[in-house]
Structure formats: C-alpha cells, structure tokens
Amino acid sequence: MVSNPLSKQYWHEVRDGFSIVGYDGLVEKAVVDIPDPGSSHDLGQSSKDSGYKISTGSAIDSDSLHGNNVAFEYGENLNKDLDIRHLLTLAIGGSIGTGLFVNSGTSLNTGGPASLIIGWVIISSALFTVINALGELAATFPIVGGFNVYMTRFVDPSFAFAVNLNYLILWIVSLPLELVAASITIRYWNREINSDAWVTIFFVFIALLNMMDVKFFSEAEFVMSIIKILAIVGFFILGIVLAVGGGPTGGYIGGKYWNDPGAFHGDSAGSRFKGLCSVFVIAAFSYSGVEMTAVSAAESKNPRKTIPKATKRTFWVITFSYISILTLIGILVPYNDKRLLSGSSSVDASASPLVIAIENAGIKGLPSLMNAIILIALLSVANSCVYVCSRVMVSMALTNTLPKVFSKVDKRGRPLYSIFATLFVGLLSFIAASDKQEEVFTWLSAICGLSTIFCWIGINLAHIRFRAALKFQNRSLDELAYISQSGIWGSWYGVIILVLVLIASFWVSLFPVGESSADAEAFFEGYLSFPILIASYIGHKVYIKNWKWVIPLEEIDIDLGKKNTIWNG
C-alpha cells in the first residue's frame, strides 16, 4: 500500500461530474473522473482548468475523496513540446556565455593557466554528481520548476525557499547584466551610438522571443546554441594550429607561457593556492544553467526518456567545451597580459581571452567575428534568463512562496505574469549609458554570487533525502525511470566539494588575491548572497512557524507528481 495523495490536506468541488482537487499548494487543480468506475478520461487538453491527466481504475467518491488506482501525471498547462535537442540547447544557451568567453580571463589573471584547469575540473566533478542527481529526480518527477519542489518535499520548505529565492535573483539580475554586456560588445564596432539604443533593440528582441510558444522559443535558442558550439569547435581547431606555430606570425608556442610567466600566479605557495581558490566561484557561475533540464522537465514530451539523455549529454557537451577551450586559452594567453583586465567591466568582450589569443596571432577579421559570436552568446543567455525566471516563479507560486498570480498560464502555455515580471526587472539594463552602471551591477552580482553553489548543494541534498525516504519506506530503485550514475555517495561527494568551495570563497572574499589584510568591501561583493540566504531561511521559518531542520523520512511523499505512478488508497 502506498500513501494516497488525496488523503492529505485538500479542497475540492464537484463541477460537471468531475471532482476538482487542490493538494497542499503543490497541485493547484487535479481533475478526477468520478461517474463511471473503470473508465478513463484524459483532461490534459480538454479542460481549460487543468493541465493534469488523471485516470481512475475505480470510482472516487466526491465526498470522501478516497479512491483506488489513481494514475497521476503532473504538469501545469505548459505545453509539452520540448524534445532532447531542445532540452540540450536550452541548457547550453543558459550556461555557455560570459563565463567562458569573458570571465575566464579574470580567472586566468588571478590564478594562472594551471589553476584555471584545476578549478574547472574540480567544479566539473561536483557538477557530474549534481547533473546525475537532477536527472534521477527530474525523470521521476517532471514537475514545473523541478528542484524547487524537490527541496520543498524532500529537505525542508524554508531551505527550499531560501535557495530558490537566491536562484531566482541570480537569473533575474543576469538578464539586465547580459543586455548591458551586449551593448558594451557593440562598442567594438561603433562607440558613437548611445548604449541604451542597443539595449532597447535587444530588450524588444528577447521579449518577443519569450512571448512566443515554447516551441518557437526553443527553436530560436537551438539556432543560437548551434552557433556557439560551432564557434567553440572552430576556436579549438584554430587554437591547436596556433599553439604549434601555424599562425600568420609563426613561432611554436607550446608550453611557453606555462614556464614564463608560469603555471600558477603568485610568488609563494600560499598566494598560488589563494589564486586557485579564486577560480572556483567563477567556474561554478560559468556552469550555471546546466540545471535547466529540470526547469524544462514539465514541458518535455517524454520526461522518462528525454530527461536522462538530455542531462548526460548536457554535462559532457558543456564540460568538454569548457575544459578544451580553457586549456587552449592557458596555452595561448599569458596570465599577466594586461588586456585581461582592460575591459570597462567584467562583461566587456575586449577583455575576452579568446579575442586576445586571435589578436596575438595577427589574424585580421577573426577578432570581429569572435566578438559577434560573443554578442550572440550574450543574447542567448539573456533569452534563457527570462525562460528560467518565469518557470521558477511558476514553481514558487505553486508552493505558496510567491503570489498565486505568477502560477497562471494562458491557453498557449505561457506564464505571462511571470514573464512580464522578469522583463520588468530587465528594464534595469537601461542604465547602460550611465557612468554608475559598473558599480550598480557589481552589487547586483554580489547579491547572487554564490546562488549556483547553493542550488547545486540543494539538489544533491534533495537526492540524498529522496533515496533515504525510498529506503525507509522499503521501496525499490527499480521504480525509478533513471538511476543516478554517481549514486548516493556521489551526491555526498558533491555536497562536500561544494561546501569546501564556499569556505574557500569566504577566505578569498575576505582576503582578496594580492591583499594581505581583510577588505570589507571585497568581502560583501563576493559573499553578500550568503547572509541573504540565511536571512531568507530564518524569515521563512518564522513565517511558517516550523522549526524542524528537515522533513522526517516518514512524512516524505515520494509518489505525488511521479510520472505514471499508481496510488492505492
């Protein structure tokens, strides 16, 4: 016997022969066929009130709401139009952007080429456990917003609120940041036109894409992601040619810059280790967006098949892209090249190590092409920002942590209120022409600087608690649509590595690279998101008056929202 979801706290009403059931805020409206025992009724398309598909093997009493063999398929009115290539390119679109094309130069400058590779490899190993944990959960529970609900149900509602609020802020702040970066990128060709004019063009373009059906949106993202992948492949081939001396200026480079100025930045072992620690947070930030496969799960055609494949392919495509390109960057650009710090801001493409490598080779025309690709990458990430924010807002509204209005979805499957709210914050991008824009975005970025790490820790903890609940309730792993390749111990490894990264980030934020004394401003720029996380957690605990650290294993519902799961009441 398995717990009946309808035995929880609910509301219901009978309408047109169907019982409409609300459950604990996680399920807003479920429709169950009452009149004819043994019948099945698919309401996924025919009911404007529900995106849920319920079939019954026996009658459900509209008064007692106790029934047998109820198959429950969770999913709001969001369209289920995404296949594997869409899920893959959405994740690529969200994660391959300024982190690889621009911010990697900052890491090269502070850590050196060896630190660059070591830092990204360590973060990649933690990411492998996260993506596998997420694949297992998302394939089993293809729910709107994904990991927000996983943390709420398997760990603790207050923890979920704090983590997801930080995650929402990360993406909602990234939208104006990417649009401003795109306007700065245009200066490579034209410095006379006001930056806000370009922001207007880009803002309207992104808004129009997100107002389309998810199918059209995902196709646009697919095209932009393909361009980025082709650019990465092209630079990889070019980088090898340049490294062996095949460029116009000639001369074998090889490991030249690993010897002079060196593999690590720093005069002592302590300073070199600090340089390595400074790489971790930038590496994690650059990978943010990989978890989008879970955000998109409720809009995929066949989550049990597409989610596992998409998560695994996403990890290998993105990890290979980063590690291969970063290795070549470390070979082609010395860490003490002043141009790595010459940008007007952290998103200025003129500081891109890829552009610098091509300029060093003396290849005319290619720097301009690479700049255009960076522009496309920025717009792709901005596009993903609106998508992620709107879906996370829907999920948080369904768990009663945002106003219910944000959960509303129109007939075309668009969460319009959530999209409009995200675009409204995007209007911050119109400070692009202001001389204060760098200062403003420095502090906006500080608010969410560690959000990706918090999110990944939360995903792994949700996986750990889910597996513990399965074991406690004597359930088999054979029930799962996909089993994590890294397993429960992999999730623990990921949590430990990411906690160590937070500790290293604390040290580097308080005592920045090149500084011997504490720097309060640098600390808050790098670690402000942590006190915000704690304040959000405590505030939510006080609001809901629940002082349990975690949800007891016996209270964890491991069935609600499971794809094609049968309940026996």
Domains, the chain, in order of start with CATH, read 5-73 (no CATH), 84-555 (1.20.1740.10)
Q: Which helix (H) or strand (E) holds 385?
A: helix 366-398
- Identify whether the C-beta of residue 62 lies closer than 8 Å to the C-beta of residue 282: no
Rounded Cα–Cα distance for residues 43 and 530 (Å): 44
Return the residue matching tokens 């060709």.
Answer: 189
Give the dihedral of Cα atoms 485, 487, 492, 496; nearest 10 deg: -10
pLDDT at 79: 55
Q: What is the pLDDT of residues 361-372, one digit of tens each?
A: 888 888 888 888
pLDDT at 266: 82
Token pair of 174, please? 């990234």
Rounded Cα–Cα distance for residues 211 and 415 (Å): 9
Token pair of 313, please? 């392919």
Closest by CA to 556, choosing from 457, 488, 478, 462, is: 462
Q: What share of the chain is helix, strand, coil (3-state, %, to 5)?
A: 65, 5, 30
Closest by CA to 562, choosing from 215, 122, 101, 141, is: 141
> Residue 261, preceding bond cis, omega within 30 degrees?
yes
Please name the residue ranges forming H helices in 250-332: 256-257, 269-287, 292-295, 303-332
Q: Which helix (H) or strand (E) holds 10?
A: strand 10-15
Closest by CA to 504, choosing from 260, 226, 277, is: 277
From residue 254, give the alpha-carbon distance in Å to each of 243, 511, 523: 5, 34, 37
- DSSP-derived letter for residue 259 is I
Closest by CA to 391, choosing from 144, 140, 163, is: 144
From residue 332, give the alpha-carbon distance in Å to each of 128, 204, 237, 250, 419: 28, 38, 13, 13, 42
Sign of the CA dihedral with 155 first, then 159, 164, and 170 last: negative
Closest by CA to 211, choosing from 395, 423, 381, is: 423
- Identify whether the C-beta of residue 553 lies closer than 8 Å to the C-beta of residue 153: no
Q: Which residues of the chain have pLDDT under 70?
A: 1-84, 93-94, 143-145, 293-303, 341-350, 432-433, 436-439, 441-443, 445-446, 560-569
- Identify whether the C-beta of residue 51 lies closer than 8 Å to the C-beta of residue 75: yes
Q: Which residues contact 388 (CB under 8 A, 6 or more apart)?
A: 94, 171, 289, 292, 295
For residue 79, how many other CB atoms are within 10 A of its CB?
Answer: 19
| Residue 66 burial by Cβ neighbours in a 10 Å radius (0-12, 13-18, 19+) | exposed
pLDDT at 172: 87
pLDDT at 26: 36
pLDDT at 480: 84
Angle, vertex CA 508, rays to CA 504 and CA 512, nearest 5: 170
- Identify whether the C-beta of residue 213 lies closer than 8 Å to the C-beta of residue 79: yes
- Identify whether the C-beta of residue 486 lies closer than 8 Å to the C-beta of residue 126: no
For residue 112, how many other CB atoms are within 10 A of its CB?
Answer: 27
Token pair of 176, please? 């104006």
Q: What are phi and psi of 46, to 5 degrees?
A: -80, -20
Rounded Cα–Cα distance for residues 283 and 111 (Å): 12
pLDDT at 163: 92
Rounded Cα–Cα distance for residues 310 and 319 (Å): 14
Rounded Cα–Cα distance for residues 372 and 224 (Å): 12
Rounded Cα–Cα distance for residues 261 and 5 (Å): 63
